[in-house]
Chain A
Amino acid sequence: MLKMIGALIVVFAGTVTGMQLGGFYARRPRELKSLTAALLLLKTEISYAATPLPEALTEVARRADPAVSPFFNAAAFHLKNFQGTTAARAWSEALAETGHTLALREEDAEVLRALGTALGNSCREEQAQHISLAIERIKAAATSAEADAVRYERLYKFLGFGTGAALAILLY
């Protein structure tokens, strides 16, 4: 009996691990899409309203998907509370603080970092161009992430369950 319960626990743990690993693949396209939507909001704030960046970021955080809003909030916080901070600095600090909560890959973070160095440094048209470029790149990443999600999510889930089951059988 006890053995049976132990075996079930091992199978369960394997499944959960697999789901978590697969979950990363499932979350990534969703979060990348939320990110493009949020960047689009930022672009609108800048090109139509010329809202100063700290306020624009707060506004984006308020309206964006809850998954990505901590990032924008953190960037706004750094700009507002530390005098003498550049947009690039605030942006990368925010990425360092909140990046791990997002299912981002290094290449996604790199796109964001590149955008950060351009923020607030030029006229509205140019700002809009920089943001559009980042949006396009993230969109492309989202497309491939979607394909990955279909493939790997199931794979990891099955692998997790399978490994758990195999271990249970071996240990039984």
Chain B
Amino acid sequence: MADKEFYPKETLLRLFPPTLRDLLGRLRVWEEVEEVRLKAQRPLLLRLTREDFFVSPSGSLVKHPGEAYQVTLEEINNILNVASGASLYAFEEEVRSGYITLQGGHRLGLTGRAVLERGRIHTLKYISGLNLRVAREVRGAADGVLPYVITGSPPRVCHTLILSPPRAGKTTFLRDLVRQLSDGVPALDFPGVTVGLVDERSELAACFQGVPQLGIGARTDVLDACPKAEGIRLMVRAFGPDVVATDEIGRAEDARAVEDALNAGVKVVATAHATSLEELKNRPFFRYLFALGVVERFILLARREKPGRVAAVLDGTGKRLR
């Protein structure tokens, strides 16, 4: 699948202070790095596609934490300062939600001490843990399923639910699907439709200062950091898209919003956490959704040697199409 993959090693390295830049720059596994985990006074950890490794002070991969490079608090502060453009205070909303989206769509997860105000997180203090998640745009990730999602003549989009276990590439997959639905698929004679993308966790379009950092298609409107239920309604009402796409549905309030979209004749493409269809049937939201009988395609992803593998495509009745 991944025919066009771009890996922004240099952009990422610029975030690090000289000591770490030197160390990480020597690594030969950048194409596989999914996460760089940094915690003050603890070993530097890399999460690769298949397994995780610590990084030794000489810049090689080791399995034993005792041999690993110890990250300092100063380095953490340094990265935070650079990543926020020396303006962490301008990212208060983001700090509250626990991550900052960076230029290029990468995200920096933050941990520290939560300061509460009326039971809600007001801000994080003493930030001492960072998790740099590398954004990957895999153009063509959804190629294999397009003939199942776009059917009929003239071609139309099916209501689609993408199921996958965590870290199996569902967000990457949905992003590519949205991009192709939006831009059109010449091979299927599909001209492209308007897509309303409700990006609650800023992961799909990875907006940086409101501008999508990843390819999501020419006809896609993005509602960044908006709660799904509200976002879906807003999109349907204000933009009248042909397709509404969103990540990780499953809360009770999402159900009404999805129903609203269905009533307005809008196609819904969404993802959910699950390893199988059976697992979903036990969750109230999906029981309700299945009772409506509207989902036309289930796409099951699996994480094997590489994320984003399509394990199966099922139709609305659960019959296997692929």
Contacts and interface: CB of A to CB of B under 8 A. Distances in A.
Interface of A: 46, 50-54, 56, 79, 83-88, 90, 119-124, 126-127
A84 B14 contact: yes
Of B16, B80, B81, B84, chain A has the most CB atoms within 10 Å of the CB of: B81
Contacts of B80: 121
A86 B88 contact: no
Contacts, number: 61
Nearest to A87: B86
A122 B124 CA distance: 9
A121 B15 contact: no
A123 B88 contact: yes
A88 B80 CA distance: 12
Contacts of A79: 85-86
Given A84-B82, A86-B81, A87-B81, A121 B14 contact: no
A126 B125 CA distance: 10
Contacts of A50: 87, 89-90, 92
Interface in B58-84: 77-78, 80-82, 84
B89 A127 contact: yes
Interface of B: 14-17, 21, 77-78, 80-82, 84-90, 92, 95, 123, 125
Given A53-B85, A54-B85, A83-B14, A121 B77 contact: yes
A123 B92 contact: yes
A121 B88 contact: yes
Contacts of B89: 46, 50, 120, 122-124, 126-127
A83 B102 CA distance: 13
Contacts of A86: 17, 78, 81-82, 86
Contacts of A127: 89
B92 A120 contact: no
Nearest to B15: A84
A56 B90 CA distance: 11
Nearest to B124: A123
A103 B293 CA distance: 78
Contacts of A90: 86
22 contacts: A50-B90, A51-B87, A51-B90, A52-B85, A53-B87, A56-B87, A84-B14, A84-B16, A85-B82, A86-B17, A86-B81, A86-B82, A87-B81, A120-B81, A120-B86, A120-B89, A121-B77, A121-B81, A121-B88, A123-B89, A123-B92, A124-B92
Contacts of B82: 84-86
A116 to B, nearest CB: 10
A120 B15 contact: no
Which 5 pairs between the two chains have the least Cβ-Cβ distance?
Answer: A120-B86, A87-B86, A52-B87, A86-B81, A53-B86
A132 to B, nearest CB: 14
Contacts of A56: 87
A102 B178 CA distance: 57
Contacts of A51: 87, 90
A113 to B, nearest CB: 15
A84 to B, nearest CB: 4
A90 B85 CA distance: 12
A84 B18 CA distance: 9
A165 B84 CA distance: 60
Contacts of B92: 50, 123-124
Nearest to A75: B86
A123 B85 contact: no
A120 to B, nearest CB: 4
